[in-house]
Amino acid sequence: MHPTHNTLSENIRVLSVELLNKHLAAALDLQGQVKQAHWNVRGPGFIAVHRLFDEVATVVGDYADMIAERAGGLGGAALGTVQTAARTSFLVPYPHAIGDEKQHVFAVSGSLAAFGQSARQATEQAATFGDADTADLFTQISRGIDQQLWLVESNIART
């Protein structure tokens, strides 16, 4: 840990940085998964879904940045390389053999939902070990991910 005047105990900061880095890896993976869908989507709704995936990837990238900056602000190091993300992300690997927009919407929805659920759990974890600000960050992220999930799932035709 780097020296800081942050008034949280070092023990709490270490726990928070670990939790943040877990989610940084997954956020970077999620951003990559959404870009994979963006680059490869095909179908009658192509342009709308293509643009939506690009917007979702941008939002997820912003969350990754917020997570990394919180880790740094606590005196920790943000572990945000592609290699680290690939090794430690808790998300299911994205299927490469799809192109159809419905399949991409389904796959992206599943990854968004998994990340959102983990962010909600991280809110509880951070609050449990006494870091209300990190808990608040994860609340903000889970709320935003739920909105992105809603936007993506709105492209699934319901019968």
Report the interhelical angle of 46-73 vs 101-128 (nearest 10°): 20
User: Which among 119, 114, 91, 108 has a CA at the least distance from the CA of 154?
Assistant: 108
Note the pLDDT tens digit of each residue in 1-30.
888 998 899 999 999 999 999 999 999 999
Q: Where are the domains of the chain?
A: 10-58+69-153
- pLDDT exceeds cutoff 60 at 150: yes
Record the pTM: 0.95
Mean predicted lDDT score pLDDT of the chain: 95
Note the pLDDT tens digit of each residue in 127-149.
999 999 999 999 999 999 999 99
What architecture (CATH level 2) is domain 10-58+69-153? Up-down Bundle (1.20)
